[in-house]
Amino acid sequence: MTAQVHLPPIAPGRRALIGHAVPLLRDRLGFLQELRAAGPIVQIAIGPKLLTVVNSHELIHEMLTSKSHQFSKGLLFEELKLFGKDALPVAEGKRHLTRRRLMQPAFHRERVSGYVQTMRETVEPAIARWRNGHQLDLKTEMQLIAQSVVMSVAFTSNPELESARALLTSVDTVFKAALRRALLPVPLLERLRTRHNRQVARAGEILHQAVAGIITDHRTNPDHYDDVVSLLLAAQDETGAALPDDEILSEVIGLLAAGSETTAVVLAWLFHELGRHPELEQRLHHEVDTVLAGQTLTAAHLPQLAFTRRLVSETLRLYSPAWLVTRQAIELVQLGHVTLPAGTDLLWSPYTLHRDAALYPEPLRFDPDRWLPERPQPPKGAFIPFGLGKRQCAGDAFAWTEATIVTALIASRWRLRPTPGASPRPIGEITVHPSSLRMTAMARESRPIREAA
């Protein structure tokens, strides 16, 4: 007997030929947010392409944990293979498992606390460059900081500002192209050789050249390094052979891409909210001044920065960088009450899930205290900025640590003031970033609070 396919309903508002393409392309985030009212699992159409949107956190949980073996990473990640095929975030099956086992130790919680000094030494000079009373493009500043943290920790490399900017632009170009291709109704159009495609190819070359230089240096001076690149260079497959160079290259680029933009936008939104809420900023300053008390920040301070951490949690909720994560059914799958044939493209959105009033009271209010342990916590599976299950973010502990450190270091030195009248809008590119975020850096009078002797 063959299993019966029982597809999810089509979301309201489908137009002939174009489907839901207009609202999706006009306001991606708004469209997906409204779609939550259409039911736990629904289908949308982009031209002839059908996508299944999983809204319910219970179904997302099922898809990412007990049923994860029935899905591949899907559309978006297929396009992200532009970064190099088979890097950890896009690899599938056995290759994914072996790579994850190889690289995960570098990102274990205990290992990450050993990175605090490097993180601090990378962030401090970057924020020391800021000038009192000068306006910053905060998104770019945070991108440069987050990129140099990943590069310093994982590759022992911190390029000059100009090369760092070129890398940032290249990652951004490739990201934008991947998203456009994933959402395009007719994929073939994008494959034509256009000026834009040549730019994407050029961006890929810049990335490959920069990373190839890092790898050559590690190979030439192996004793100088003990980092993720060394780990990859020392790795062997089951036959005892070393990993091929192009695979090492892909992994390094994959980490750079996965680890930079995500943390950067979280930090940008966090300071945007502090600019709008001086009372929260004051509480942060009080905590940082009390805990650090004029000392150099170390791993031992981190557990004491409880309010700072709640600020990070709340930003991860309200501005979850991932607004679109995809999967594809590799066989017939039963998900809740629906049955999806092999080949079904699915997507889920941590960003819209975290803004659902049924899961979070006053969801649009930025309230770090909702994370106080005595307050009711969201249901299991309803807070998933890093995903869940076997494909959960490998860098989550890294990201928490980095975001806490950067927030504390900036707060101990600077106030970032909003530009009067500006109201940055969330834009859903590969992450949710602010349309424009200019803030003025004002030096704080340094007044560390020392504990009474």
Choice between 210 and 322, CB closer to ligand HEM:
322
> Under rule CB under 6 A, which residues in 322-351 are in contact with ligand HEM?
322, 325
Amino acid, single-letter form, for residue 52: T
How far apart (Å, rounded) are the C-alpha atoms in residues 233 and 241? 11
**Least spacing, CB of residue 120 vs ligand HEM, in Å:** 16
Judged by CB under 6 A, the number of residues near ligand HEM is: 23
Contacts of 131 (CB under 8 A, 6+ apart): 441
Beta-strand (E) ranges in 174-301? none
HSE-CB for 364 with a 13 A CA cutoff: 2
Q: Do the beta carbons of residue 177 and residue 184 sit within 8 Å?
A: no
**Least spacing, CB of residue 273 vs ligand HEM, in Å:** 15
Q: Which two tokens stand for residue 60?
A: 């997302």
**Least spacing, CB of residue 438 vs ligand HEM, in Å:** 22
Q: Return the range that interacts with ligand HEM (CB under 6 A); candidates 46-54, 129-137, 181-189, 319-327.
A: 319-327
How far apart (Å, rounded) are the C-alpha atoms in residues 246 and 234? 15
CA-nearest of 47, 137, 178, 71 to 441 is 137
Q: Return the range that interacts with ligand HEM (CB under 6 A); candidates 49-57, 132-140, 383-391, 404-412.
A: 383-391
Q: Return the range that interacts with ligand HEM (CB under 6 A); candidates 22-30, 166-174, 204-212, 260-268.
A: 260-268
> Under rule CB under 6 A, which residues in 387-446 are in contact with ligand HEM?
387, 391, 393-395, 398-399
**Least spacing, CB of residue 430 vs ligand HEM, in Å:** 11
Q: Do the beta carbons of residue 397 and residue 108 sit within 8 Å?
A: yes
CA-nearest of 155, 96, 126, 156 to 392 is 96
**Least spacing, CB of residue 399 vs ligand HEM, in Å:** 4
- Give me the 138-157 binding string for ligand HEM, x by CB under 6 A, dash otherwise: ------------x-------
Among 55, 158, 262, 412, binds ligand HEM (CB under 6 A): 262
Q: Return the range that interacts with ligand HEM (CB under 6 A); candidates 184-192, 233-241, 258-266, 278-286.
A: 258-266
CA-nearest of 438, 446, 445, 398 to 422 is 438
Q: Which two tokens stand for residue 351?
A: 């960003």
How far apart (Å, rounded) are the C-alpha atoms in residues 361 and 378? 10
Choice between 88 and 210, CB closer to ligand HEM:
88
Residues of this chain that interact with ligand HEM (CB under 6 A) are 73, 88-89, 100, 150, 255, 258-259, 262-263, 266, 321-322, 325, 385-387, 391, 393-395, 398-399
